[in-house]
Structure 1
């Protein structure tokens, strides 16, 4: 059967979740293309504040990495915006002129930040807080400026403000309303939150309307309508969002506040659907993730021809932590007209709870300081439960929970534990009992519980404890290599050795992987572990490697590639430079840049040009994409520098030629400096060498990335031979004991420098490690061996690699 062409416009959480549901129902029915205007794969927008605060990196909030799209046969087009839908020809057109045909079209364009018509809003230093790009702007500003103003006292504005405070900025929040978060909190809870945030260093300007943002080209401050002003170097606009429905409107699709849809998420154009923040259903536009996922499930079943109940709208709830303070709200939480409230307020403990009743039914609730009853109350609201036979105050003061009983134990199977993903207690218990899930990561992989905001992790843990009992408590939770298995890295390697497992598929089958295809996290790890255990026998599996490693180039945000030829020790010559220049001209490569690792990076190479580019370069790959030795940075050394005490260039070239192509758990960078001035920044590399009178100092575990770490002195040695032996043994020990994707800096902190040094001090152990390293280096397989030994990239090999 011929597959239908399905296009998703928008690469956000709601749209991609819909695709995930479609893949579960009818994986082979559609040829799927996703078009997104950001240069990133699908990520968790809810956790952007964690990135801003420095608790997470972008990779930590990625929901579906580049490999996921390839694994599922999805074409991902990034950095392009759909500007027109031609419903007669059934095509979409992007801002680049790309024309894509469709049989079924899903619009998941999300929302746009609302920018009020304030004079000066277009000045430098004004940003919104909606995506990774905005976060990067704020992070950069915090390094240069000190005063920030956030316009908007809602959830997003407060998260931005706390992130900037954590970055060392002086932050003021300007809010038009009389209290904070009026969409989620009542006046009492809003003012309690303000008191708590003021203690944390935030300043507030309530009931203030911004009239003008003043400054020359860059902002200098705000002018309010009452004539007062506030100085600021950075202004964050967080006053609200609006559905991104322009492409639908321009294409003749019915739009009100958002793109109007029916109970099956269909627009008024055949075969065109809308889901998420851009969609309007029965006059409602939802901005929380749980309703959007409910819509996605209905749409996925409908588009796959599976019978489903229609979408009937959602009762929204919010349960989160704002700067460490628990808040919760659900339903219609403002009393008045035919609604009455019941409140409990412990001012000393800072705990406030309120339920709102219409007759004998709870229709809304607000909590501050303690939201542990949130799921239970939300369930009562959703069920429209009659509570006439219960003492109403007991609803807010659960004696069972206060007496120490598990909250999950009191929940029925139908009650929701993970509000974001709509996962009930019964679903989690079923995953534990029938699918053998025994850890938070496995529950996340099987059910998606805790996959979004993570606020339900404690409840998931209680469900595991309650269901598994002593077996859960007796075994401390191990860090499995991914959610597809409960096995740790050490257990997997032990099983590979004991059972002589020889392929990735065999490992997953014999060791009982939950997902028989594995995932983009475990497959590359298994491929590495097999190669590390059996260096002479294992055939490297290209399909199990990351996309950059398969392509021998780094994919860029516009879909082109970055090619980096090897320059040993940062040393080059006129022949290689002419060759690079010729390739740049021949393939119209738009950017040539000298990297921080003393190499030349060719950026903007088209995918189809990669084989010929490598052939014409006729230079070995610099492995800029690999989990391997990337560079050995050097200074000019004693041959040229009047301060140099050692020949740094020669040692750097020797090290790079020795270890190039070696697969390691993560990228490895080295540097060699000829004297303690350390011009090559040897103290901040995975392995750094500093020349001293009569020898070398060897430093390990340095990192110059987002988590800066200075290297630790491992040894002082006298000869180059000692340098090479210790480096080989150290790298092999790292290869054998580190988790896959664990940098040397994290590995050293986990294992301990003293333990590593003690291992290398043992002459027999060091000799054995060196021997295993020599074996690993001696059997480097193609394409590595061809690149390294023959210094030649053959067109035939690359054609088969890239286009088979």
Structure 2
């Protein structure tokens, strides 16, 4: 019988430990995870990239919901564990959910430190720690322009860079006389400051914040010296502290963090801790590499695999601060009895400082060129003499190149436990093993196998260097494909599928040389869509290749329940329809019924096993609020009631919705119809928007009202409703046939250009051909619930599992 393992914390440290454990002992534990945030495991290091526009929120997800489902993990998102009953061996969340444990792992991370300033409770004062903070900054930048970031460390500078990207006027406030004093000496810090000032940042150094001023919302940040700076947004990035309150209440030994031994055991039997909340030998680590090392040790311990335990970590910091590379390690301050070597090139923006004591390297700072960081750190850890090599170490040799006269490269000399990819905690040994034992011959294959270079990409040159050393002539420079399983792009895959008539996902993978037998969560849904789009009459949809929401035809919520949205055409309903929805909500005790932004009713909190019965009782089409399909067609009342309306927007909206319901698309699609240029239905931020004018209709494309707001482009002006249907059919089918999987129309229109779309749709003959193809597809589709309701075998998919929760 499986033991019960409960993990409190759904972050990077705990999930990396689980990944190791599932490889070592995949069947030993029934696993339950509680995560306080309503998101699956994501890379917190990449939040600054999201803020700066270098990555999308979905791109920083490390383990998607499908991963939890694949490993039959009970996942409770949005649940904060409030109590550990050590006598009964169970945990209880703030929502009343209980979970028994044989093994309990605390990975509660840390909390941002908020300065106790007067006014810190005001709206517009936040930390920079999670996705919600990121979203708040993005939303605020659309309404306000002045921001102050308190804290001149790495996190503060990254927050400031992101806010600059969002168009805000940013001042960085720091209590010290120079930036990043924990990682850099003053010379390197001044060079960094000049680089950042050139990017547009402003700095207020040696400033102590006194109060946040403003009525209700932050407006000004005041300092103890009497000066002030305007700030509609105040971001505090002044440090973190281990989240230990839960452990304290449970009676565990706690200092700064939860006290653990070399095997990550706490003071109570069966309870372990790791990550930022743990304190080992008096140290609570905040960098990712030590946390991953702890996770590897704990996974072995829980799998009964021999391990020497965790002996602590020697840490280094290799960072890219707003595009500038910096590295520091060890004791880099000038100290008694030490020699200091420096090299500074103001033209190239390079600075190097080495600190030596008794002929051993004890500290280093690199700015601008950090390629020698890995070797210097390795020398520091080994403690070997560097006598006679000082000049060579200071001036350096590019990583991966051979010194004059032959010999081994610097990367080759690095220890196997040297961390190469800091974002994902991948060491040199793991990368070398992927090359020598798993046959990886390209950076993309190494990325797919180990995750190295899969986040910020800063370590890619080091990965390339290792590839050259250990793969030799077998190393290939492969272009990036659709995912790590293939080097082929979307267009190449679609072209080959059409040319060779490939009709199944397995066939595509075999014929086109997929590197992984089953593919991954990125390519399987994409192939499933492409095959359905190319062969609508022949292809049998692979339900197992769809995401969780599409498999259950409902939106999964953070507590593991589902949301049901029946189709309400154009936002127009009737008393009979409303009565039916109300009766169903009462019968199944639906916790919440809410009007959506798309003018529909959402039944929230539905149990998975009740989904077929609810749809049967509703007897209404699905609103497809869960899939990559047509979602909604929003309308205003138009000429039917409004004194400004020039056309029947309600009728047009209903016609469009009935025309395209059930349509599968590369990404979700939203439509809207406004009855006059006042645009009450917000048609100009939709994927396809229709705006009524005197004597006709404006057709708009490529809008988005989400995180990256984009106004539409005007496609054309037409006179009749039939022309609206003709052009919308042609546009949507052209998008279906040419966009990448998961690519919204807003991104697609920007990528291919509006003119290319206009040219493709210019010929009426081609528009009618596209219209016929989209109608053929729609004729072959049915509402999924009609099939599920009528086939008992399909209903079994909705029966609760013993380990069922959020997936």
User: Which residue is 2:458 aligned to?
Assistant: 455
User: Which residue is 1:412 aligned to?
Assistant: 412
Contact 1:179–1:190 (CA<8 Å) still a contact in 2?
Answer: yes
Instruction: For residue 497 of structure 1, report the CA deviation from its aligned partner.
Output: 4.9
User: Which residue is 1:738 aligned to?
Assistant: 739
Contact 2:152–2:180 (CA<8 Å) still a contact in 1?
Answer: yes
Alpha-carbon distance in structure 2 between the residues aligned to 1:697 and 1:380: 67
Instruction: For residue 705 of structure 1, report the CA deviation from its aligned partner.
Output: 2.6
Q: Structure 1's 655 and 21: CA in aligned 2 closer, same or farther, altered over 3 A? A: same
Instruction: For residue 629 of structure 1, report the CA deviation from its aligned partner.
Output: 1.0
Note if 1:320 corresponds to 2:319: yes
Contact 1:429–1:463 (CA<8 Å) still a contact in 2?
Answer: yes
SS at match of 1:180: coil
The 10-residue stretch of structure 1 (166-175 or 462-471) with the greater mean CA deviation from structure 2? 462-471
Note if 1:395 corresponds to 2:398: no
Note if 1:800 corresponds to 2:796: yes
User: Which residue is 1:446 aligned to?
Assistant: 449
Contact 2:375–2:414 (CA<8 Å) still a contact in 1?
Answer: no
Alpha-carbon distance in structure 2 between the residues aligned to 1:375 and 1:489: 36
Instruction: For residue 110 of structure 1, report the CA deviation from its aligned partner.
Output: 0.7
User: Which residue is 1:197 aligned to?
Assistant: 196
User: Which residue is 2:600 aligned to?
Assistant: 599
User: Which residue is 1:276 aligned to?
Assistant: 275
Alpha-carbon distance in structure 2 between the residues aligned to 1:160 and 1:15: 25
User: Which residue is 1:66 aligned to?
Assistant: 65
Alpha-carbon distance in structure 1 between the residues aligned to 2:565 and 2:796: 21
The 10-residue stretch of structure 1 (114-123 or 279-288) with the greater mean CA deviation from structure 2? 114-123
Instruction: For residue 300 of structure 1, report the CA deviation from its aligned partner.
Output: 1.1
Q: Structure 1's 612 and 83: CA in aligned 2 closer, same or farther, altered over 3 A? A: same
User: Which residue is 1:533 aligned to?
Assistant: 534
The 10-residue stretch of structure 1 (703-712 or 58-67) with the greater mean CA deviation from structure 2? 703-712
Alpha-carbon distance in structure 2 between the residues aligned to 1:39 and 1:50: 20
Contact 2:372–2:397 (CA<8 Å) still a contact in 1?
Answer: no
TM-score (norm 1): 0.90
The 10-residue stretch of structure 1 (422-431 or 746-755) with the greater mean CA deviation from structure 2? 422-431
Instruction: For residue 665 of structure 1, report the CA deviation from its aligned partner.
Output: 0.9
Note if 1:568 corresponds to 2:569: yes
Contact 2:627–2:668 (CA<8 Å) still a contact in 1?
Answer: yes
User: Which residue is 1:710 aligned to?
Assistant: 711
Instruction: For residue 446 of structure 1, report the CA deviation from its aligned partner.
Output: 0.5
SS at match of 1:63: strand
Instruction: For residue 136 of structure 1, report the CA deviation from its aligned partner.
Output: 2.9
CA RMSD in angstroms, aligned pairs only? 3.3
The 10-residue stretch of structure 1 (16-25 or 262-271) with the greater mean CA deviation from structure 2? 262-271
Note if 1:727 corresponds to 2:751: no
User: Which residue is 2:373 aligned to?
Assistant: 374
Alpha-carbon distance in structure 2 between the residues aligned to 1:470 and 1:688: 54
Q: Structure 1's 785 and 99: CA in aligned 2 closer, same or farther, altered over 3 A? A: closer
SS at match of 1:732: helix
Alpha-carbon distance in structure 2 between the residues aligned to 1:318 and 1:513: 37
Q: Structure 1's 438 and 656: CA in aligned 2 closer, same or farther, altered over 3 A? A: farther
Q: Structure 1's 185 and 224: CA in aligned 2 closer, same or farther, altered over 3 A? A: same
Contact 2:92–2:98 (CA<8 Å) still a contact in 1?
Answer: yes
Higher RCO, 1 vs 2 (CA within 8 Å, ≥6 residues apart): 2
SS at match of 1:411: helix
Alpha-carbon distance in structure 2 between the residues aligned to 1:696 and 1:116: 55
Instruction: For residue 124 of structure 1, report the CA deviation from its aligned partner.
Output: 3.6
Residue by residue, what CA displacement relative to the aligned partner does 1:690-720 show, whole Å, maximum 9, x if unpaired? 4455554433323333333333344444544
TM-score (norm 2): 0.90
List aligned pairs for 1:136-535, cutoff 5 A: 136-215=135-214, 217-226=216-225, 228-390=227-389, 392-398=390-396, 410-412=410-412, 414=414, 416=418, 417-425=420-428, 427-428=430-431, 430-432=433-435, 435=438, 437=440, 440-463=443-466, 477-478=479-480, 480-497=481-498, 501-508=502-509, 511-535=512-536
The 10-residue stretch of structure 1 (360-369 or 449-458) with the greater mean CA deviation from structure 2? 449-458
User: Which residue is 2:579 aligned to?
Assistant: 578
SS at match of 1:412: helix
The 10-residue stretch of structure 1 (296-305 or 497-506) with the greater mean CA deviation from structure 2? 497-506
The 10-residue stretch of structure 1 (563-572 or 81-90) with the greater mean CA deviation from structure 2? 81-90
Q: Structure 1's 450 and 298: CA in aligned 2 closer, same or farther, altered over 3 A? A: same
Note if 1:663 corresponds to 2:664: yes
Instruction: For residue 677 of structure 1, report the CA deviation from its aligned partner.
Output: 4.5
> Which runs of 5 or more structure 2 residues have no equivalent in the other structure?
801-807
Note if 1:115 corresponds to 2:118: no
Residue by residue, what CA displacement relative to the aligned partner does 1:457-491 show, whole Å, maximum 9, x if unpaired? 3333455577778997876x24x222233333234
Residue by residue, what CA displacement relative to the aligned partner does 1:747-773 show, whole Å, maximum 9, x if unpaired? 233334444444444566555444432
User: Which residue is 1:790 aligned to?
Assistant: none
Alpha-carbon distance in structure 2 between the residues aligned to 1:142 and 1:715: 32
Alpha-carbon distance in structure 1 between the residues aligned to 2:496 and 2:437: 24
Instruction: For residue 201 of structure 1, report the CA deviation from its aligned partner.
Output: 3.9
User: Which residue is 2:552 aligned to?
Assistant: 551
Contact 2:399–2:462 (CA<8 Å) still a contact in 1?
Answer: no
Contact 2:244–2:254 (CA<8 Å) still a contact in 1?
Answer: yes
Note if 1:38 corresponds to 2:37: yes
Q: Structure 1's 226 and 767: CA in aligned 2 closer, same or farther, altered over 3 A? A: closer
> Which runs of 5 or more structure 1 residues have no equivalent in the other structure?
788-792
User: Which residue is 1:688 aligned to?
Assistant: 689
Contact 1:174–1:205 (CA<8 Å) still a contact in 2?
Answer: yes
Contact 2:331–2:355 (CA<8 Å) still a contact in 1?
Answer: yes
Instruction: For residue 498 of structure 1, report the CA deviation from its aligned partner.
Output: 5.8
Q: Structure 1's 731 and 439: CA in aligned 2 closer, same or farther, altered over 3 A? A: farther
Residue by residue, what CA displacement relative to the aligned partner does 1:275-328 show, whole Å, maximum 9, x if unpaired? 111111121111011111111111112211222342221111111122222211
Alpha-carbon distance in structure 1 between the residues aligned to 2:442 and 2:722: 47
List aligned pairs for 1:21-32, cutoff 5 A: 21-32=20-31
The 10-residue stretch of structure 1 (646-655 or 12-21) with the greater mean CA deviation from structure 2? 646-655
SS at match of 1:575: helix
SS at match of 1:382: helix
Alpha-carbon distance in structure 1 between the residues aligned to 2:190 and 2:477: 44
